[in-house]
Amino acid sequence: MLHLLRSLQYLELHGEARRLSFRALDIEQIGHVYEGLLDHTAKRATETVLSLAAARGDEPEVPLSALERLAGVASGEWRVVSGEELAIIPKLITFLREQTGRSESALKKALLNPSPATHHASPATLLAACGGDQALFNRLRPFSGLVRSDIFDRPVVIRKGSVYVTAGTDRRSSGTHYTPRSLTEPIVQYTLEPLVYIGPAEGKPKEEWTLRPAKDLLYLKVCDMACG
């Protein structure tokens, strides 16, 4: 819970934690927060999933079985590979490049040196991430150099049955996009001016406009068809 509260209060920018002031947030920032929430969804893992270290700051989640399949091995059969063996698994390298944006040389180095992407290289840490499951540890070990760290410097291994947050499609599929103020203000202005003032519809200059009576304004009805 402390980690959750801290995440709500601080924003990590270029390795520096900056305190957020929710009092200073206006509607535009809240709209972007809403968009960000819609970009994610929670899923339950039906099998072991690894969150991979990526060059673009993304966090692609890939099933361990998919990596094994691309490597052309049965579950748990692949151990540490040599440079010669890497040459025969181009499908795996191509897939990883597409998912992570990392270079081929970096990916090969990670597979040749199966230690996780940052500093969580100890077998005990990796075993803990596997929930103490030695069989899962043996399967995961050759790919551990590809796994990203969480904020506690632990390998992100999503075990079967766990719930995790990942990129979703709700916003794209529903067409939900926050309209910036630079567009909303002129839309509202030019839509309401002819209804609120006498003059715009008649083509009069602005200095000759007069406000309509309060009774007319109170009878106005607005339909925002793209709201919510």
Please indicate, yes or no, whether residues 73 and 166 belong to a single structural domain of this protein: yes
Q: How far apart are CA 153 and CA 115, in angstroms?
A: 13
Give residue-wise pLDDT tens across range 98-115: 989 998 888 888 887 665
Which H helix or E strand runs over 124?
A: helix 123-129
Please indicate, yes or no, whether residues 106 and 161 belong to a single structural domain of this protein: yes
Q: What total of structural domains would you count in the chain?
A: 3
Return the pLDDT at 13: 73
Which residues fall within 8 angstroms of residue 157, CB to CB, at 6 or more apart? 48, 49, 50, 51, 126, 129, 130, 140, 147
pTM of the shown model? 0.61
Give residue-wise pLDDT tens across range 139-186: 888 888 889 888 778 899 999 999 988 877 667 677 777 777 888 899
Residue 210 lies in a domain: yes
Full domain range(s) for residue 8: 1-38
Q: How far apart are CA 82 and CA 96, in angstroms?
A: 18
Please indicate, yes or no, whether residues 106 and 130 belong to a single structural domain of this protein: yes
* DSSP for residue 176: -
Please indicate, yes or no, whether residues 61 and 152 belong to a single structural domain of this protein: yes
CB 49 within 8 A of CB 61: yes
The residue type found at 20 is L
Return the pLDDT at 115: 55
Please provide the distance, in angstroms rounded to a whole number, between the alpha carbons at the two ends of the chain: 31
Please indicate, yes or no, whether residues 29 and 70 belong to a single structural domain of this protein: no
Please indicate, yes or no, whether residues 86 and 141 belong to a single structural domain of this protein: yes
Q: If you count DSSP H runs as helices and E runs as strands, how many of each does the chain have, helices first?
A: 11, 9
CB 156 within 8 A of CB 127: no
Return the pLDDT at 114: 61
Give residue-wise pLDDT tens across range 23-76: 888 877 787 777 777 788 888 999 999 999 888 767 889 999 998 888 876 444
Q: How far apart are CA 109 and CA 14, in angstroms?
A: 26
Which of 170, 191, 207 is the last residue in one of the domains? 170
Return the pLDDT at 218: 94
Please indicate, yes or no, whether residues 54 and 156 belong to a single structural domain of this protein: yes
Please indicate, yes or no, whether residues 199 and 88 belong to a single structural domain of this protein: no
Residue 189 lies in a domain: yes
Please indicate, yes or no, whether residues 52 and 165 belong to a single structural domain of this protein: yes
* CB-count exposure of residue 205 (10 Å: 0-12, 13-18, 19+): exposed
Please state the φ and ψ torsions of residue 75, each to the nearest 5 degrees: -55, 125
For 124, other C-beta atoms within 10 Å of its C-beta total 8
Residue 223 lies in a domain: no
CA angle 159, 64, 39 (to 5 degrees): 70
Please indicate, yes or no, whether residues 162 and 209 belong to a single structural domain of this protein: no
Give residue-wise pLDDT tens across range 79-103: 444 444 444 467 888 899 998 999 8
